[in-house]
Amino acid sequence: MIEDSIIRQILECWTASENPRFGDCIQRPLPSFHDIKDVFEQVFLASLKCEEGRPIRCALVLASPSDIDDPSHRYNKDFRRFVTPLPLTAESIAKLAPAFDPMLSSIAVCRDAATSTLHCWGIFSYSPAAHCLNELSPAPVGDMWCRPDLFTLTTRNPGSIQVSRMNANIGWFTDGEFVPAVPTPFTSKSLGNHLIEPLKSTSFWQEYSTYYWQCYRAALEVLLFESASRGDGALIILLASGDTVIPEHILLDAYHLEAVMPLRTHLETMLEAQRRHHSSSGTVLLEHLQRLAQLSTVDGALILTRELELVAFGAKLHVPNKWTGQTLEGPDGSGYTSGNPCPAHRYGVRHNSAINFAAECEGSTVFVISQDGPIRAFIRFNEDTVLYWPDCTVSMLV
């Protein structure tokens, strides 16, 4: 079902993740080709199912009993065995999945030595991931439980599977191919440069300089993540610097609120705290971004100013001029440019609308949150070229 070449590619990426330059990873035995393939195929089949009308969302970890007590795992573990192990099938995964949120738990899977069959035999529990807007974990520091540093498969949408180990993303299987994780494009050598430049003319930049960029980037990443986690797919547009309305010839209909949401105020609170070296968890800002993300689930586009203030949501757009120029992959977070053309023919209406809008409205940035996992971005680079980034998640991390 899953081509052997894809499994081999995943194993190569796993091996590359143990390179010291990618972080402090302990070298682990290479997972078995057949174990990975068998588990992968069952997770894939399970992802195509629905349980009571909901998509299957779960995480599975290849973990043997010897892995549980391995002293090289330098983190706190919380592990519970099933009294009676369950056979690993797409059906058993679909039944178990609703009980275990992949943000908090993963199902341990191993091959039974006596029967040579794979079974689900326990549950890892761990603390939710923290980020700079919510660094205070709900668990005491000494009691924080971490994701296992073992081969992990996570699915949140049909046919889309993330491969990871501990908090490090290895890559995504989506649209029938495996896409290795790459450095985040929100750097000065990549998409980040196109976002930073317009900010340099703002009063916040004059007041806080790079502190502003750090908070802005964190806020944008959280907004995209929160929108993606809702699993509906979305279109989020940042207008060109200084623009506060959608071009009339493009807008068919939209929802508007009388007053803008005060993101600027929340950002300023964080910036002042950083400058004065005071602690600030950013909880209020996080809640505001979550509300914005919820607006993105309404059919249509979420339109924001360059400074992330709300303009409209549920915007129905129609760009009269279809883009006829080239759409090429932009430089990655390390500045490497492949120059590969965007396979727009493989994507749906939402992606093509994004390309057309970015081409029509120079200076805008368009993010497409896909139901299959990746978050893609589009900007107009010049009169002949639209640049795109195939995955704008913080894709080196889970």
Q: What is the mean pLDDT of residues 335-351?
A: 87
Q: What is the mean pLDDT of residues 40-48?
A: 95
pLDDT of residue 367: 97
Q: What is the mean pLDDT of residues 344-356?
A: 89
Q: What is the mean pLDDT of residues 238-266?
A: 87
CA neighbours closer than 13 Å in the CB half-sphere of residue 97: 29
pLDDT of residue 123: 96
* Average model confidence (pLDDT) across the chain: 86
What does the pLDDT look like over 88-108, one tens digit per residue?
999 999 999 999 999 899 999
- Confidence bin at 30 (pLDDT 50/70/90): confident
SS (H, E, C) the chain: CCCHHHHHHHHHHHHHHCCHHHCCCCCCCCCCHHHHHHHHHHHHHHHCCEECCEECCEEEEECCHHHHCCCCCCCCCEEEEEEEEEECCHHHHHHHHHHCCCCCEEEEEEECCCCCCEEEEEEEECCCCCCCCCCCCCCCHHHCCCCCCCCEEEEEECCEEEEEECCEEEEEEECCEEEECCCCCCCCCCHHHHHHHHHCCCHHHHHHCHHHHHHHHHHHHHHHHHHHHCCCCEEEEECCCCCCCCCCCCEEEEECCCCCCCHHHHHHHHHHHHHCCCCCCCHHHHHHHHHHHHHCCCCCEEEECCCCCEEEEEEEECCCCCCCCEEEECCCCCCCCCCCECCHHHCCHHHHHHHHHHHHCCCCEEEEECCCCCEEEEEEEECCEEEEECCCCCCCEC
For residue 204, pLDDT over 70 is answered with yes
Break the chain into its structural domains and give their ranges.
Answer: 4-180, 191-389
* Separation of alpha carbons 61 and 107, rounded Å: 6
Q: What percent of the chain has pLDDT over 70?
A: 89
Superfamily assignment of 191-389 in CATH? DNA integrity scanning protein, DisA, N-terminal domain (3.40.1700.10)
pLDDT of residue 372: 63
Q: What is the mean pLDDT of residues 219-247?
A: 90
Q: What is the mean pLDDT of residues 207-219?
A: 89
For residue 178, pLDDT over 80 is answered with yes
Q: Which of 16-25, 140-149, 273-282, 389-398 has the lowest mean pLDDT?
A: 16-25
Q: What is the mean pLDDT of residues 73-79?
A: 75
Q: What percent of the chain has pLDDT over 90?
A: 53
- Confidence bin at 142 (pLDDT 50/70/90): very low
pLDDT of residue 279: 56
- Confidence bin at 210 (pLDDT 50/70/90): confident
Contact 285, 300 (CB under 8 A): no
For residue 51, pLDDT over 80 is answered with no
pLDDT of residue 55: 82
Which has more pLDDT, 395 or 340? 340
How many other β-carbons are positioned within 10 Å of the β-carbon of residue 208?
Answer: 21
Q: Which of 72-81, 157-166, 251-260 has the lowest mean pLDDT?
A: 72-81
Strand partners, 378: 366, 388
Which has more pLDDT, 130 or 173? 173
What does the pLDDT look like over 107-136, one tens digit per residue?
999 999 889 999 999 999 988 766 656 554
pLDDT of residue 136: 41
* Separation of alpha carbons 104 and 89, rounded Å: 22
- Single out the residue of 288, 291, 285, 287 nearest to residue 313, CA to CA: 291
In Å, what is the CA distance from 2 to each residue of 40, 174, 369?
8, 12, 25
Which has more pLDDT, 142 or 264? 264
pLDDT of residue 324: 93
pLDDT of residue 137: 40
Tell me the pTM: 0.73
